[in-house]
Chain A
């Protein structure tokens, strides 16, 4: 018996992605059969397109955050960087700067936030949680100062097009943001599995000393993860701005919580050294599907937080379940 549970927890650890897919399948079946009325509204192409669009910008941040967390770090500042990227790109556009240039400037602003995070964490040696908590507040403040709480509007129509969809066939169209998400997640997943430079994040997060002795520039790898996350967060902000045809100082609110939850559900450990991008993406998809399903089931809005928090806790405990633990729980209940 103890072997079975051990094997089970090993399986969960080794095939995290498969386990999430199974949970996803169960959740989908549940929502499909539980939905009110006679009409199927959950398993439709339209609804899944909405789910995909809804998670598309969070997915960009999930890619960066996975690398940060694998390397043993943490980044709370992404939500604020979403607002910064959107505001800088949009302000420049409205001021007449060519769209491409404005977008690049927005991304550079995100890179700058990441570089500051990386510098303070690796060179000054401040804890990542504290550092990025600080930059989160500073960057949000800068956004508010820059726009004085007025949303940036009047964006060029060709920029707004990016937030729309690409018609593939008469009945099927693919939103650009979803295309961007799929390409980014796939590329990053393959690179993290095979590219030498990216694989270093596992060594840095797994055993920093060993990584240092084997000649890895630990600080550089760490800083890189923060800069990449900053760029991706800014990109998320720019994509959102094109979808909403405006950029505001409170964009990306709570994004850090959603993204970190997804990465952890996807199997990454905050201790560093483990996690995959595919897993984190599936974690995000699971969160997105459950949020959507709860809307369709008309679940009380205040109940949603309880559900989402419970899923997070379940996700991090599932691979710790073994026979001794079950016995402990059993004994506790007998008392």
Chain B
């Protein structure tokens, strides 16, 4: 694998769920949760995937990790095509690909000790850590995620929410993955604890060379941790750029509205920016609007937006945005 081959490369991914009738459970349609998503993550890089509910960001994660079957598209991880991989090979690849979930309590077995939770993966992959080393390795991992190694025999309920999330991180690290998918991994935590976990994730990336797919709805958090950011709306990526570009000069109206809506804890002493408040709600993914999916809430929408779906392509010599009328916002450099 050459140096510039991405660690993860997703191309034109489609994942849909059947919509069934209430009475006979007959398929009556499709919910296109993910409708043609492409992105790359280099080794050691962090891609932030942002979007509101129904954007399909979590379905992207679940499809990559094999919890959902894609309808079409390709997922190449570490040189292997995951969508056509036999089960046995998938197990081998999945070692390198781990996930941290939002709810640290629901994702930990309440009847297992921390040591059992972390070492469970080594039962399936005995070549990673031999049984004689389990106890010592668990202690190392706990120390690395900032927990007391002497607490290895405790149960999840004996830990606070932030500590439980650290256990989830230790478990994800147990198989020495190359890519960790963080699905709203800090969303449920109080802000004082969230900062601790964000710092931990940054330290682990630096020390272990991890790559992250960091999925979150909180843009401030995503900006803080990501190198690149992709914005999703109703199953599609509408804009993607480096962290710096995207937050400084967003091109897509949805990104602009999203950034404008982020509450600012320090609004004083700044030029007053006119908030963009978009009306309405995200349409149903079972019946997305024709053409551009954002047009029903967009203040720039014209006839062409209903007829022609804008491609995600480089516009204005800048980064890719899927909008017929992509422009920099008024007073861009804020």
Whether A associates with B in a native complex is: no
